[in-house]
Amino acid sequence: MTVLAHGIGQSTDLPLPLDLVLQAGAATVVISFLGSALLWRRPRLSPATERRPRSIWWRRPLQIAVLTVSLYLTANALLGPRDESNPAAHALYVWLWVGLIPLSIAVGPAWRAMNPLRTLYRLLHLNRLARPDPPTIGPWVAVVALLGFAWLELVAPDRTDPLVIGSFLVGYAVVQLGFAARFGEAWFGRGDAFEVYSDLAGRLSPIRWRPWLSGLAVDHPAGLGRAAFLAVWWGSTIFDSASGSPAWAGFVQRTGHAAWLGTAGLLTVCGAVLLGVRRLAGKLGVTNSLIPIAAGYTLAHYLTLLLVEGPRGILLLAHQDPDWTMTPDPRLVSVLQVALILAGHAIGVLTAHDLALADAPPTRPPLATLADELPVVLFMIACTWAGLFLLFVR
């Protein structure tokens, strides 16, 4: 199955030389920092106001529809054809993993409103069993769940086998519903990896939050669990880019231990990202500023997957001819990918500056606060270069 063919084109498809693109990436971060230092003298993202829809008549029909589609996809994955005609891989790897980001950025934490596990929780009346103590393990369960999903998507030998996908979905649902039966429905907002994922991306929604980006100042400073979740989110995408290179493919072919090497590589990259976040960006508690960077890089990396395989999955679900022949122009896609990465880093710099101002004591000189931000800026420049290099150099 070719659903995991994420990329389109390489550095030769860029309308500009790669070295100029890397220079532009560094310049974007530096200019964003200097501009915020000159024009952003006080915190502007707090207090935040989360806007909720005035009418929710649509919510119940949407929840029932999503639950019905989810049950059908899971049953079809377990009992249906085990070939490319099964839409299970598209549903999990394209619609949910990639499509949830632009949807959440557009309207806010979309998965919270239509999470089929929440609907099942209510239909099964599991609230009767709940003793809602505030669990401290919630963020870490979400981290482990996201890491397990990343391993399934990027490392597992049979990751596109519908039976494997269906088994993962059933196991994931049983675990999440079990925790929710113990701790109450609020568990999903802390321990369901996809709901946490959608919530973090939804912090960028201009419709949901006033002022815009103020959602990034909520729950600040973020703890180690938030940093670990972002490290797995961002690090798994970086590993996906790196593992697509000829050097990695040749190394794996020579050793002959693809699953073990893939697991070690995934854990190493995610661990390195976490270390960088905590040691360089953690001093100022600007972990939330990495949310736009992770969202921008994920969208850039999976852009062609969403454009090509997303509609093809809908055709498969509708039992229509899946011969989807749309091929985006590689140069246009490359420009969009660069723009997404640079926009994510620019927003990250502005957010980090605002969070640093909010944390600084009133008596602290502004220049001292800016000096504290320099390691964060250097870290983001390195991340920009790494993201652009891995995206276009194979």
- Strand stretches in the chain, DSSP E: 49-50, 209-210
Helix (H, G, I), strand (E, B) or coil at 303: helix
Residue pLDDT, tens place only, 325-348: 667 788 888 888 889 988 998 999
CA 141, 146, 149, 151 torsion: positive or negative? Answer: negative
Residue 357's pLDDT band (cuts 50, 70, 90) = confident
Residue pLDDT, tens place only, 247-297: 888 888 888 888 999 999 999 999 999 988 887 655 667 789 899 999 999
pLDDT of residue 393: 63
Residue 14 has pLDDT above 60, yes or no: no
Reading the block at residue 370, the tokens are: 């800016």
Least confident of 103-112, 128-137, 372-381: 128-137
Burial class (CB in 10 A: 0-12, 13-18, 19+), 226: buried
Task: Quote the CA–CA distance of 120 and 147 in Å, as a whole number.
Answer: 24
Q: pTM for this one? A: 0.91
- Could you tell me how many residues make up the chain? 394
Residue pLDDT, tens place only, 58-86: 999 999 999 999 999 999 999 999 988 89
Could you state, in order of their start, the residue ranges of all structural domains in the chain?
Answer: 11-392
Task: Quote the CA–CA distance of 67 and 29 in Å, as a whole number.
Answer: 42
Residue 323 has pLDDT above 50, yes or no: yes
Residue 1 has pLDDT above 70, yes or no: no
Residue 324's pLDDT band (cuts 50, 70, 90) = low
